[in-house]
Structure 1
C-alpha cells in the first residue's frame, strides 16, 4: 500500500522486507536506566494471486544511535562511535505472510536495547522461502543476499509507556513478489511502517463468502488492499485521516460495487457494515 502512514527505506544489502492476535510481552516492571524496550510486529498487505507466501526469518537486530535520544532525523554521517548494534529476541521459523491480514499480526521481535534512536532494522532470512500458487510450491528467490536492511528516520516508533516502544511493519505481498519470464519468483520488498494510535482503519463484511472478492480502499493519494476471510470479514489499517472509497472487486461471477465517502479519523475504526454482492 502506498503512503498510508510512513514508508521506510529498504537498503539493498539483501533488500527485502516485510493488530490483532499478538500482545506485548512487556510487563509492569520499570525499564532500566539507559535502556529501552522494543516490540516489532509483522503484518501483511495481501494479494489474491498466491495461496501462501512463506518467509524464513532467522534473526532481527537494530542499530541504535546512542548520541541522539530526541528521535529526530539526522544525517547518515553521525559519529560511528555512537552507533551500537543490539539483537532482539524472536521465534525463528517460517512465517506465512498471507495469514497476517485483516488486522491480524504477530510479535516478530522484541527485547531490551540501549537507549537512543533506532536507525536500522536488519532481518536475516534463511533459505526456506517459497510461495504456493494453485497448490503448487515454488521457491522464492532472494536478491543480493539474505538480509533485510530497513532504514528508519528515528520518529517512527510509538512510545506506548515509559521506556517502551512499538512499531508495525506491513509487508505488501502483492507488490513485493515479481514473476519473471522464466516462471521463477523473486522477492523485491515493498514495506511501510505504521503505529496504531496515529492511523485509522476501515472494516466490513463482504457477502456471500464464496464471492472471492478483493477490497481496495483508496483516495487521491493512498491505496490499500484487503483479502476477506471465508466469512467475508476484512480490515485495512494504517490509514491517514481523510475520505476514502471502498471498491469491492467481485469474483465467481459476482458484480463489483463501490462505496464512496467513507470518513477515516486517526485513532478510529470506520465500519462500512455488510456489503452484499449480486450476480
Structure 2
C-alpha cells in the first residue's frame, strides 16, 4: 500500500522540478539566449566590460525601440576564454514573436588588453559607440520556439593599435541565429482528468507540465529528437503513452486531441 502513494508523489515532484520553461497556453513570445564566442587573437587577454544586452525590432536608430534583455550576466569577459568552440551565456529573455533587426551591447569602462609581455593597456571605446555596440542580425522569432544568438567576436580584428602605444576597442562581430528547441502541444480529453504530461527522451531525460482546465497543454523547450509522451492521471487504467513523437528545433509539434480511456 505504501508504494501506491509514494510513486505518484515522486512523479508529481519531477514535473514541478523539470517544467519551469513549460506552460499550458501559447504566450505569443519566443525565448532568446545571447551567447558569446571568439576567434583567437595574439594577446594574453582581451577584456570587454559588458553591462547590458538589448534588441531592436525595427531597422532604425529610434532609441525608444530598444528592449533590454532582463536576464543579464554583466561583467568583464576575457574574449580569449571563449575561443576554440567555447561560449558563454550573456543574457536571455522571453520576447514578443516576430522580427528583430539588431542587437546592442552596452559596454562599461573596464575594457583592457594584456599583451604577450604581460603589459596591461586600457582599451578605448570610440565616441561613436558610447550608446552601445550595434550589430545587425535580421532574424525572425517564431512563437514558443527557443533561439540562440551567437556573437562571434574576432579578437584580432577588434583591437586596433593607435600608433602611440595605446589601443582602441572596435569590435568585429559575426552573428549566428539558430533555433535550438521547439515544443509539444495538444488537447487532452476528458479535461477533468488534468493529467501530468511527461515528454521523455531516449536517454530518459524528462520535461513535464500539466493540462489546463480545458485540457490544453504546451510543453516548451523541447530539443529536436524523438520522444515518448506520457499522460499520467494517477490511475493506471487511464494513463496513456504516445511513442515516436518527432520534434524539430523550430517547430511546435501539435498532437491534436489525445483521448484518455474512460472507466
Report TM bin, short chain: 0.5 to 0.7
Alignment of 1:1-279 (within 5 A): 27-30=20-23, 32-47=26-41, 49-65=42-58, 76=59, 84-88=65-69, 89-133=71-115, 134-144=117-127, 145-146=129-130, 147-154=132-139, 162-194=144-176
What's the C-alpha RMSD, in Å, of the aligned pairs? 2.8
Structure 2 gap segments, 5+ residues each: 1-18, 181-263
Residues 185 and 125 of structure 1, relative CA distance in 2, 3 Å threshold: same
Partner secondary structure for residue 99 of structure 1: helix
The CA distance in 2 between the partners of 1:85 and 1:181, in whole Å, is 36
For the 8 Å contact 1:64–1:115, the answer to whether it is kept is no
Structure 1 gap segments, 5+ residues each: 1-25, 66-75, 199-279
Task: From the CA coordinates, give the structure whose radius of gyration is larger.
Answer: 2
How many aligned positions are there? 156
| Deviation for aligned residue 1:34 | 2.1
The CA distance in 1 between the partners of 2:31 and 2:37, in whole Å, is 20
| Deviation for aligned residue 1:184 | 0.5
- Tell me the TM-score normalised to structure 1 length: 0.50
Q: Which has the higher contact order (CA 8 A, sep 6+)?
A: 1
| Deviation for aligned residue 1:85 | 3.0
Higher helix share goes to which structure? 2
Partner secondary structure for residue 86 of structure 1: strand
